[in-house]
Structure 1
Amino acid sequence: MADLHPVAKRIHNVQPDPVRLTVEGGSEHGGGDESDEGAASGVYRFDSTEFFQREFRGEGTRVDADTDAAFRLISSEDYERILLGRQGPEEEGWRMVGEVVAAERADGE
């Protein structure tokens, strides 16, 4: 079996503690602070994450902003990317925020 996605493993190992995600394609809702590279970061707390062989899923909230929305992590169909989706309190369905390109423990946040 191929290796599990390294970003997904990092998120899974950090949760339920807060994790800072860097999201490529991030926006004002979900991605966090914009940077020069087109990536954004934010701090999230995932209530659950799980692997189904190589497939990865997780659900949680953002703790540093946009706290009323729900967030979902999923792996892409080819298992090469971890994607972040957002559903606001007044929205039906999920909107894709972007690809999670980095995850690190959010100590002290």
Structure 2
Amino acid sequence: MTDLNPIAKRIHQTSPDPVELTLNDGTTGVFHISGAEFFQQDFQAEGVCEGDKANYRFITSSDNESVLVGRKDLGESGWTMIGTITGVTRKGP
């Protein structure tokens, strides 16, 4: 069995406390993650970013090598892929 993605594990272990995520383009944000769960090796979660009204979805890639980030603005019907997560820092207590 393949190991769980280490970034996904860190997000799962940190939630529901706030977490700072760094994306592959260098941007960062503090996210409040909900519904973080694994289905065997596959990870999925949803969340919101402080100061942003969009919804975010986090899933592992098909090869389990990265965690993909999708964004959906309020009132929009679809998700836009915005990058992958390269860093996770606990922001809560």
Place the TM-score, normalised by the shorter chain, in its bin: over 0.9
Answer yes or no: is 1:23 the counterpart of 2:10.
no
Correspondence 1:27-106 to 2 at 5 A? 39-63=26-50, 65-66=51-52, 68-106=53-91
Percent identical residues: 43
- In angstroms, what is the RMSD of aligned CA positions? 1.1
> How many residues align structurally?
93
Q: What are the ranges of 5 or more consecutive residues in structure 1 without an aligned counterpart?
A: 26-38
Q: What are the ranges of 5 or more consecutive residues in structure 2 without an aligned counterpart?
A: none
Cα distance, 1:91 vs structure 2:
1.4
Aligned equivalents of 2:13, 2:61: Cα separation in 1: 20
Moved over 6 A (4+): none
Aligned to 1:7: 7
TM-score normalised by L of structure 2: 0.94
Cα distance, 1:47 vs structure 2:
1.3
TM-score normalised by L of structure 1: 0.81
Structure 2 counterpart of 1:22, one-letter code = T
